[in-house]
Structures are given as C-alpha cells and as structure tokens.
Amino acid sequence: MSAGPPHVNGLPLANRTAIVTGGASGIGLAIARRLASDGAAVAIFDIDGDAATAAASAIDAAAARTGAGTGPGTGPGAGGRARGYRVDVTDRDAIDGGVERTRDELGRPTILVNNAGLTLPGPFLDLSFEVWRRSMSLNLDSVFHCCQAVLPAMLEEGWGRIVNISSSSVHSGSPRLGAYVTAKSGVVGLTKVLALEFGPRGITVNTIPPGFIDTPMLRDAQKNGVMNVEQQTAKTPVGRIGQPQDVAAACAFLVREEAGYITGQIFGVNGGRNT
C-alpha cells in the first residue's frame, strides 16, 4: 500500500493528483482551488471547456504568485498546478479520455470529487421521462462512470479518496425536484456500497450533501420559485447562507491522509439545518 509522504513541504496533498467534475464554477471551482492550495495537482472536468481552461489558468497563476509547484518535487503529481478539460460526464468515452489526459499530464489520479450536477426542476406530473432520464444521467450515472474510470488508478496506488457531492434534499425532500432528489439519493447509496467494497484496498468513499449554499444553481432555483433565499436564511441556525468555500473545506479534510478512518459517511455541510 502506498500512502505517500504526508505533508510534503507543509502541504497535505503534495504529490497527489485530483479530478474535480463540474469544477469550472460554484462549489466545484471552490473545491478545485482548495485542493490545489493544499498541494494537489488538479484536473478540472467541465462541459464548458473554455471555463475549465480559464479556471485552471487562474489556479496556475495563483500557484506562481505563491511559489507553489516550483523547486524539488515538481513535475507529474506536483501540486500547485491545474489543467482544464472539456468533459461531458454523461459520456463515458469522454470521461475515459479525460482520465487518460490527467494521468499523462498531471500524474496518476488518486482523488476524485464527483461534483457535476443539475437540478432540472418541475412539478412531478409535468415531468417528462426524457427529463427524468437526463437528470439520472447527469446526477447519478456520471458518478458511476467517473468512479469506474478512476478506481483502477487508485487500486494501483493502494490509496484513494472519493468524495461525492450529493444534496441535503435527500434528507428532507423538495417539491418540484423529484428527479434530482431521486438521483442524489442514489449517489448516497452508491457511496455506501463503494466504501464497503474498496475500504480494504485503502480507498475511502464519502458524500457531502451541501445544504443552502450560495451557488448559481441555488440562485436559479430562486428564480424558478423553488427556493426563497431570505426565508431559508432565517431558518438556518448559524444565521447565514453557506458559501462554496464551506463545502471545499470539508472536502479538503476528507481527502487527506488523516481522514483515512472515515468512509461511507454522509458529511453534512448545512449550517445546522439537518443534524
């Protein structure tokens, strides 16, 4: 088993390579930035290839300003670097291609954050099966495909961390989000299965269900009448809306060496809304 040298140059994820899906905006972008700042080389997978490239360039620029990714230990697997790839996470061939490019350009990926997703709201009786299937493909099937594509690299390493971003709506339900809540509930179930299956091989699998985080997706939900931000803020025990950085901080902890005894868990980030 290869645990790797912990906290090389003071960075907990030095010499690790991470893939973050949907990493060009919102929670995914915050996670990509945080993992890079902790020393990981980060591959950003996003359907918007230009946005992924821009996000990766910004991470590289930040690394250059702080001196990360220079000196001994740079090269494949060195931290402070990022690459952006146009990857449609509903397309297995595209995922496999992205994983191969990540391996060639950044090093063997041993951290995977499945963040890509979409709400597709609407009343249940108006919900077409086409929209239902699209939601399953984007929010659940993509997790299946990405895990299958990246797990072989983790097994080679004898070490791996998978964090699946689900949704706090799996606990409470949410009107007009039948397909989304169902798909994200499947993500939670898959997380538990993979944790049991791959725990003996040095791989942990956990899920973060964000609750009430200020993202473009939440603002779209407000525009569509699914969410009232002001009312929901008043119901949040900590008294504020969550930020993408709050989720990124939890994710950064779960992918560290120190979190190796935590797997199969639902790690809520919701300001106390669900306990």
Give the N- to C-terminal CA distance of the chain in Å, as an integer.
Answer: 35
Backbone φ and ψ of 133, nearest 5°: -65, -35
Active site residue 180: yes
User: Which residues, listed in sequence order, are joined to residue 85 by a DSSP beta bridge?
Assistant: 45
Catalytic residue among 45, 85, 132, 180: 180
DSSP 90: T
Closest CA to 245 of 215, 209, 272: 215
Angle between helices 178-198 and 129-136 (to 10 degrees): 30
Whether the Cβ atoms of residue 263 and residue 205 lie closer than 8 Å to each other: yes
Both tokens of 173, joined, read 């339900």
Backbone φ and ψ of 121, nearest 5°: -75, 160
Both tokens of 68, joined, read 């990360």
Closest CA to 53 of 94, 86, 97, 95: 86
Whether the Cβ atoms of residue 13 and residue 134 lie closer than 8 Å to each other: no
DSSP 141: I
Q: How far is 95 from 97, CA to CA, in rounded Å?
A: 5
Both tokens of 132, joined, read 């239902």
Just list the catalytic residues: 180
